[in-house]
Amino acid sequence: MRAWEIISDGGVDALALNERPDLEPGPGQVLMKIHASSINYRDLTTIEDPVSRKLPFPTVPNSDAAGEIVALGAGVEGMAVGDRVASCFFEDWPAGPISAAIMNTALGGARQGVLAEHVVLNAGGVIPIPPHLSWRQAATLPCAALTAWHALNQPHPVRPGETVLLLGTGGVSVFAQQFCNIMGARTIVTSSSDAKLARMRTLGAAETINYRNNPDWERDARQLTRGIGVDRVVEVGGPGTLQKSISATRVGGHVALIGILSGVAGTVSPTDIMRKSITVRGIYVGSRQMFSEMNAAIAHHRLDPVIDESFAFEDARTAYHRMREAAHFGKLVIDVS
Amino acid sequence: MRAWEIISDGGVDALALNERPDLEPGPGQVLMKIHASSINYRDLTTIEDPVSRKLPFPTVPNSDAAGEIVALGAGVEGMAVGDRVASCFFEDWPAGPISAAIMNTALGGARQGVLAEHVVLNAGGVIPIPPHLSWRQAATLPCAALTAWHALNQPHPVRPGETVLLLGTGGVSVFAQQFCNIMGARTIVTSSSDAKLARMRTLGAAETINYRNNPDWERDARQLTRGIGVDRVVEVGGPGTLQKSISATRVGGHVALIGILSGVAGTVSPTDIMRKSITVRGIYVGSRQMFSEMNAAIAHHRLDPVIDESFAFEDARTAYHRMREAAHFGKLVIDVS
Amino acid sequence: MRAWEIISDGGVDALALNERPDLEPGPGQVLMKIHASSINYRDLTTIEDPVSRKLPFPTVPNSDAAGEIVALGAGVEGMAVGDRVASCFFEDWPAGPISAAIMNTALGGARQGVLAEHVVLNAGGVIPIPPHLSWRQAATLPCAALTAWHALNQPHPVRPGETVLLLGTGGVSVFAQQFCNIMGARTIVTSSSDAKLARMRTLGAAETINYRNNPDWERDARQLTRGIGVDRVVEVGGPGTLQKSISATRVGGHVALIGILSGVAGTVSPTDIMRKSITVRGIYVGSRQMFSEMNAAIAHHRLDPVIDESFAFEDARTAYHRMREAAHFGKLVIDVS
Amino acid sequence: MRAWEIISDGGVDALALNERPDLEPGPGQVLMKIHASSINYRDLTTIEDPVSRKLPFPTVPNSDAAGEIVALGAGVEGMAVGDRVASCFFEDWPAGPISAAIMNTALGGARQGVLAEHVVLNAGGVIPIPPHLSWRQAATLPCAALTAWHALNQPHPVRPGETVLLLGTGGVSVFAQQFCNIMGARTIVTSSSDAKLARMRTLGAAETINYRNNPDWERDARQLTRGIGVDRVVEVGGPGTLQKSISATRVGGHVALIGILSGVAGTVSPTDIMRKSITVRGIYVGSRQMFSEMNAAIAHHRLDPVIDESFAFEDARTAYHRMREAAHFGKLVIDVS
């Protein structure tokens, strides 16, 4: 079977599509035939800088896969060959709070990834996908969708009527918009592109701010909440925007700080966190239990993930280049079989 | 009756002890005869810079008072003349999350303070004190003790066996040590004074770090938790220490960021918050319900607040000077009557 | 202005429509002109047996009203004449847990009710209604809808993918079905009427059980969850069904026991509660904060309350007789003006 | 090695002390040498009626053991030979809510018990014990102590100043008294023995009621809370007392219903649960995480479990007879080695 491998620190163009030995699931494991894999910015930065992450060569990139079970290891119960599943970003985070041990089970990083024709995973590292989704759609869920779900549902769910600030129109923010729709929350979305903001409005955004024209967008966000500030921020922009996000948040509000961006720089003053009793909470994808609840919501409301473009397995490098261009809206997906 | 008043931006020495008209409680209010008032660093900075806080002249300083009810306004139920009570830092924060409206009820800031022989407060703005406490001891509770209690009990209580990092040996940290004792938590305390660290050990601290000798105290704190990091930080040092506090915290841990210090400067990188899924939560004293639970705990365990020194009412200026010297251990209290 | 009054223990036919003096709002109160009032089974039993409730004569019945603010008392902020509002079942339950004091503020019981052309209420006892609702629709919210919302959202919200058992097709159960739709929960509904079950299916019910044909409906409910049992029950049937509801619930599941039915009889064995670690939680309508969140959800999803029939103000007695016949599906509403 | 076995439905006197083959730990397991085992009423009823529990013969009874690790299976990390540990009542309940699958891992019931010289358990089925405890003391923790801890800490911890009603002076109630001491809660204890009530007072009980003299003890309990009712009940008496316990509970209060008693009979009216918005919550021992927190609290406060009497391994039958006599105060312990 074939897999894409990071074999050097040469970046995207140095990725290699290699033949690998066939796999068999051990006790408690499953063999998954992969049909599609989506990519996240985190995958790109991993490929671009495997050294600072201390990754061995070769490492298969990517955390997100959708496919079907083709073999079960000994002792696996409650699953069957033919089950349609997605990979879990953390192969071993069943439920509860995160820990350092859980972090060491991330696919496409601490553990080998899924940009391959087959993969062996712990039975608890795959999860049934909503029936109405295609392979491509299901492949978008493990990282970006679950991150958005986590940000909106922990430490307590966004309540109906609350206002949520979404930064940009990347994969996490687009999913967050769709989840806010079903949770009854009102969104304010920022972007530097009027065209993308128009698409977010079509998806349900209540308010949009083009931050190119409005460098003081945090003031606009406050004004759009009658001076009170937003209830929650899904902060994916990193340090460059965090100060403004905190400034846009109401007394007692929450900022979910997404941990998937690397290479962050810059700093933030904690004065506003103190002065407004704000909670800033680092978020790192989510547990299998959160994934299960998210999938139930997606199935119930028949949400359709937004896919910008899909690529053939052999053209995976092009997909990462497209990610680097950052002109997409929604997810980039690689067809595997 | 007499009250100390901020009558200019002249600082501590410009405070004036003036005669004021006698007070009567309106509907829903009580008249409280004050026996003692403790001071907090926040009171000092208010006196030193009333202008940037937009305070009117005169403003009575201080939030913390202990005394007795001497008259009840119309409609006040469940209280009686002679009840021993303390003031609530926020005159109107009965329970639940904080809001901007609640913040506007802070005594000795948004509202007139309590360094006076009498004060009229809403009935919900006073609370019965633990029976075993003297007036001086009870006067230490409204700000510092409640801040420590809040930091250790929200969003969920510190669990037995957890490790809590306390910065310095100020009023909040000393109370936090006493509360950790009864909650079954192990503490690590930092200070630049070996003598103060020795006192904290006497109070129950499990580990102490003199940060003067150990500028990399965050590494020491991690080592004292077998490399894992502490479960919670009661962060009173402000921006100058926050970066290190976050560095000392475990994956998934909490940093309670105390909002009583003013004049903060400096910044922090959010990378560790993201990378370790840490929660940084701004804390601003606490609600009357938290105060009630804290008092029950203090009464049950017969905790004795630590008082460094007490001053006569007429010598209030000296108390603030002592606060500025920052050599005390525990609380500074002014006897009012 | 006119109001319906309970003037004796003579039941529905002894209700009197009397002229009353005009009202003026006191400090902190509002005067509300009522356009519609819905009735609940609790109102019927109150009218039928005011003596055992120790109600004075006359007592105005009903808790549920929709109308507009026509005058503001002194000190009322954030509201204006013309605001479209509903009454809160408990005139003084802003937020947090219930207490005995809160229970003593129930309209149409401990306090005078709202089946009147005008009513004076505390400003915190009214709440803005979703803009898309008619007066009739808005009048259905204060008791039945909020009870269903409370049952599904406390102590934690029903999660997407969970299964909820709804008993019967009364006002609470119909609202619960609509809320389950937007929360992503699957429902199993019981009734003795195939026609009503068909309507519930149209509203979104996943499964229905006619308990007339299936006296062992709790077994059917378990079978419909692959033998596991349901996650939550909205138990409105009272003691006659509680034993079966508990039997239908999974290990660790919740039963929300609705406290609006009076005249309950029968008993239940606690063995299953112990054996399956089930939580049985008494529910009594809900707080203003819950009401606010519910209204935001209703507005966001443009939910339309289901009204069975409406009656002229003068025909109020007919509405209660219809309630006693128990053949309705959804709510019974009285037009007031 | 030797183990006591249930080999028929002949009750305590039919227990057999048999030689068994030596054990070796498999992957992920540990071999534990047992020094002491405590007994619970549940063990007695299991021995008296193994048939209705569908237990195979032979079944080793008892869930509670303290001892040391003498061998580690493959892949076990973080433990070492010589570690002092206790058994977990549920061999596989690491954390989170209970489930049917977890219930099927109970020792001395669904799985073989620990009244044996050695036992093999999953590594997650043992837990380090507080250092200051003897083997006998540590053997009292797995069932009774953890049940009390669970009842007082879930769904949220008892708050300082709350009042807790304890029924009787069995193992769970005695531990509950000791935990209430450190949690700052006030207790009311019932018993039919003045001598036992005196002992509970010595342990810290604030109020005691001899229910032999006061058949209406629920009224007394309400009076002792100024008519309000208690905040929480640790209900171990079963159906015979549940009605009165609910009657003694305040509006919005909690009843923790302990699921370890078998052979329950009788029923309860749910009217009071509804009328007072009470939560009745079935409790079944607790998770390993709760056990860990409890042990930290026991170690920090140096709590000493109360042991009534201990028995030689060969005299195990006498211990069960003593349990049936029900005259003990605190725990009955069997020395194993």
Q: What is the pLDDT of residues B201-239, one digit of tens each?
A: 999 999 999 999 898 999 999 999 999 999 999 999 766
B-C CB pairs within 8 A amount to: 4
Decide: helix, strand or coil at residue A231.
Answer: strand
Six-digit token string for B158:
């510190």
CA nearest neighbour of B321 among B7, B11, B36, B9: B11
Say whether residue B219 is in contact with chain A using an 8 A CB cutoff: no
Instruction: Judge whether B49 and B39 are in contact, CB under 8 Å.
Output: no
Cα angle B66, B68, B72; round to 5? 130
pLDDT at C269: 85
Phi, psi angle pair for A134, to nearest 5°: -75, 170
CA nearest neighbour of A159 among A231, A212, A69, A213: A231
Residues of B in contact with C96 (CB under 8 A): 95-96
CA nearest neighbour of A24 among A1, A8, A42: A1
Instruction: Judge whether C238 and C212 are in contact, CB under 8 Å.
Output: no
Which residue reads 């005691």 in tokens? D208
Burial of D236 (0-12, 13-18, 19+ CB in 10 A): buried
Say whether residue D78 is in contact with chain A using an 8 A CB cutoff: no
Note whether A277 contacts B284, CB cutoff 8 Å.
yes
What count of residues does chain B have? Answer: 337
Quote the CA–CA distance of C127 and C85 in Å, as a whole number. 5
Which residue reads 């847990």 in tokens? C97
Say whether residue B96 is in contact with chain C using an 8 A CB cutoff: yes
Say whether residue B299 is in contact with chain D using an 8 A CB cutoff: yes
SS (H, E, C) A265-300: CCCECCHHHHHCCCEEEEECCCCHHHHHHHHHHHHH
pLDDT at C239: 64
**Residue B263's pLDDT band (boundaries 50, 70, 90)?**
very low
Quote the CA–CA distance of D103 and A192 in Å, as a whole number. 55
Say whether residue C301 is in contact with chain A using an 8 A CB cutoff: yes
Range in B93-102, C256-265, D68-77, D92-101 with the lowest mean pLDDT:
C256-265
Mutation for testing the A interface, residue in B105, B146, B255, B280 having most A CBs under 10 Å: B280
Instruction: Judge whether B126 and B85 are in contact, CB under 8 Å.
Output: yes
Instruction: Judge whether B63 and B48 are in contact, CB under 8 Å.
Output: no
Instruction: Judge whether D65 and D108 are in contact, CB under 8 Å.
Output: no
Q: What percent of chain C has pLDDT over 70?
A: 97
Instruction: Judge whether C152 and C99 are in contact, CB under 8 Å.
Output: no
Tell me how far apart the terminal alpha carbons of chain A are, to the nearest angstrom: 11
pLDDT at A240: 76
CATH architecture of C155-282: 3-Layer(aba) Sandwich (3.40)
Note whether B160 contacts D184, CB cutoff 8 Å.
no
Note whether D99 contacts C242, CB cutoff 8 Å.
no
Domain ranges of chain B: 2-143+287-335, 155-282
DSSP string, C7-70: -SSS-GGG-EEEE-------TTEEEEEEEEEEE-HHHHHHHH-TTTTTPPSSB---S--EEEEE
Note whether B99 contacts A242, CB cutoff 8 Å.
no
Say whether residue D292 is in contact with chain B using an 8 A CB cutoff: yes
Maximal C-alpha separation, chain A: 61
Decide: helix, strand or coil at residue C129.
Answer: coil
CA nearest neighbour of B235 among B208, B207, B259, B266: B259
Q: What is the mean pLDDT of chain B?
A: 94
Determine the average pLDDT of the residues in C20-48.
95
pLDDT at A264: 53
Six-digit token string for B110:
């948004």
The answer, yes or no, to whether ipTM is higher than 0.90 is yes
Say whether residue A96 is in contact with chain D using an 8 A CB cutoff: yes
Mutation for testing the B interface, residue in D158, D163, D164, D300 having most B CBs under 10 Å: D300
Say whether residue C95 is in contact with chain B using an 8 A CB cutoff: yes
Say whether residue A96 is in contact with chain B using an 8 A CB cutoff: no
pLDDT at residue B273 tops 60: yes
Chains in contact with D, where contact means 3 or more Cβ–Cβ distances below 8 Å, are: A, B, C
Say whether residue A74 is in contact with chain D using an 8 A CB cutoff: no
Residues of A in contact with D95 (CB under 8 A): 95-96
Instruction: Judge whether D120 and D30 are in contact, CB under 8 Å.
Output: yes
pLDDT at residue B124 tops 50: yes
Residues of C in contact with D282 (CB under 8 A): 273-279
Phi, psi angle pair for D58, to nearest 5°: -85, 150
**Residue B265's pLDDT band (boundaries 50, 70, 90)?**
low
Six-digit token string for D191:
């018993």
pLDDT at B196: 97
- Return per-residue pLDDT of chain D as tens, 337 residues: 999 999 999 999 999 999 999 999 999 999 999 999 999 999 999 999 999 999 999 999 999 999 999 999 998 999 999 999 999 999 999 999 999 999 999 999 999 999 999 999 999 999 999 999 999 999 999 999 999 999 999 999 999 999 999 999 999 999 999 999 999 999 999 999 999 999 999 999 999 999 998 989 999 999 999 999 999 999 997 667 899 999 999 999 999 999 655 445 578 888 899 999 999 999 999 999 999 999 999 999 999 999 999 999 999 999 999 999 989 999 999 999 8
Note whether B269 contacts A273, CB cutoff 8 Å.
no
Note whether B270 contacts A239, CB cutoff 8 Å.
yes
Residues of C in contact with A301 (CB under 8 A): 184
Extract the residue ranges of chain A whose pLDDT is less than 70: 238-239, 259-265
The verdict on pTM exceeding 0.90 is yes
pLDDT at A263: 45
Q: What is the pLDDT of residues C171-181, one digit of tens each?
A: 999 999 999 99
Of C267, C279, C281, the CB nearest to D268: C267
Say whether residue C132 is in contact with chain A using an 8 A CB cutoff: no
Decide: helix, strand or coil at residue D87.
Answer: strand
Q: Which residues of A156-183 are buried (b: 16+ CB within 10 A; e: fewer)?
A: ebbbbbbbbbbbbbbbbbbbbbbbbbbb
Q: What are the angstrom distances between the C-alpha of A146 and each of A94, A97, A309, D334? A: 14, 15, 20, 51
Q: What is the pLDDT of residues B125-153, one digit of tens each?
A: 999 999 999 999 999 999 999 999 999 99
Decide: helix, strand or coil at residue D235.
Answer: strand
Decide: helix, strand or coil at residue C326.
Answer: coil
Determine the average pLDDT of the residues in B7-14.
96
For chain D, where are the alpha helices, taking DSSP H only? 41-48, 100-103, 135-138, 146-153, 171-183, 194-203, 217-223, 239-248, 271-275, 288-301, 316-325
Quote the CA–CA distance of C64 and C140 in Å, as a whole number. 7
For chain C, where are the alpha helices, taking DSSP H only? 41-48, 100-103, 135-138, 146-153, 171-183, 194-203, 217-223, 239-247, 271-275, 288-301, 316-325
Class of domain C2-143+287-335: alpha beta
Note whether C270 contacts D269, CB cutoff 8 Å.
no
Six-digit token string for B92:
């109107």
pLDDT at C268: 84
